[in-house]
Amino acid sequence: MNVEISKMIDLKYFILSLCLGLLYLYLMDESKEVVIIHPTPYTVKDYLFKDFLNNCYELNMKEVSCYENEYKVEKLPKNDF
């Protein structure tokens, strides 16, 4: 039962169908989503964050009194992505 694979499959049709199948999978993949993670006290040490300028950073948490540092508090705009 020594059969050559080239007699059973035409190479140009195989490569063409492989390329078309990979192109279809690339174009029809809808699982690409942007997930926005906002830091919480529980996740602050678990993640490395990246901003829109591709700067990577991690956060450190420190509890402060809001009344003493009220002049440092800024109002941030709402993120509508």
- The predicted-structure confidence for 45-69, as pLDDT tens digits, reads as follows 888 877 778 888 888 877 777 777 6
* Cα–Cα distance measured from residue 20 to residue 23, given in angstroms and rounded to the nearest whole number: 5
Cα distances (angstroms) measured from residue 17 to each of 5, 10, 27: 17, 11, 15
**Spatial CA neighbour of 58 closest among 72, 70, 44:** 44
pLDDT tens readout for residues 26-45: 888 777 677 777 778 787 78
pTM over 0.85, yes/no: no
Q: Is the pLDDT of residue 23 over 90?
A: yes
pLDDT of residue 80: 63
pLDDT of residue 14: 92
